[in-house]
Amino acid sequence: MHLLSGSFFLMAVFFTSALSGIFGMAGGLLLLWFLLLLFPATAAIAVHGVIQFSANFSRAWISRRYIVWPIVLKITVGVITAAGILLVVNYTPDNATISLAIGLMPLLVWAPTSWFKLDASRTSHALGCGFTAGGLTIAAGVSGPLIDIFFIRTHMGRRQIVATKAAIQVISHFIKTIFYVSALTLSKGEWGMVLLAAPLAVIGTGVGNYILMRMTDANFRSLSRWIVTAIGVFYFIQWIMLVSSG
């Protein structure tokens, strides 16, 4: 990794971590796109897992009193199940698959809430959330909008949602990193940048959390929807370009 690309990488980690600190997602979507420019798909997802683990761990720690642990534990069971199935079928990602999966995510945030009678506080729904969202995290690197639909009908405020999702993502990104650990064949310089990025992710998360505390629930939900849509459209266009170029 050259000095210039390394500098952009560190800046991207800080900015995207701050964005995730505010909305509990979105930042990870952007960071993955940047990593796909630097690494092959499997390595990009693995590096993404290392950085997002750090960012989400700090976010979960900052807001730990808001975490709803019973939901986290049930979702974890679903994530482990999905990881086991993907391991058995020897799943390997590529840029086109990742771009399509993320490009379709805005459909979830704009679908009427009446379509989804899902509630993460119910055991079966929490297990389903872990299986589908956890599987998508491993398969495509991210799954924020999919996790969100399981929280639509919960009676949780923005801080509980962000904190609980952060705890879930800590576990999901850890499992994802282990899943692709064999792809982490980085040079010493690249490892240095990744290790340097970890504290930047923590700092960015703190900045995002500061902004979050000054937002209303209404603004939080509205801005989350538009930001994810913009990112999803970008990924979908990228998928079209990848398919068209063969």
Q: Encode pLDDT of 226-237 as tens digits.
A: 887 888 888 889
- 13 vs 46, 52, 110, 193, CA distance in Å? 15, 9, 27, 11
- For 29-113, strand residue ranges (E) read none
Cβ contact 137:103 at 8 Å: no
Please state at what angle helix 158-179 crosses helix 123-140, rounded to 10 degrees.
50
The neighbour count for residue 42, using CB atoms within 10 Å, is 17
Q: Domain containing 38: what range?
A: 3-244
* pLDDT at 246 (0 to 100): 64
| Domain count along the chain | 1
pLDDT by residue (tens digit) across 172-200?
999 999 999 888 777 777 888 888 888 88
Q: Is the overall model pTM greater than 0.85, yes or no?
A: no
3-class state of residue 24 by DSSP: coil
The pLDDT averaged over each successive group of 10 residues in the chain (246 residues) is 78 86 75 88 91 83 90 95 95 91 79 74 92 91 80 76 87 92 80 85 83 74 77 88 83
Res 25: pLDDT: 64
Quick one: pLDDT at residue 195? Answer: 86
d(CA 137, CA 88): 17
The model's pLDDT over 90-115, given as tens digits with 9 standing for 90+, comes to 999 999 999 998 888 777 767 766 67
**pLDDT value for 178:** 93
Longest dimension (CA), the chain: 50
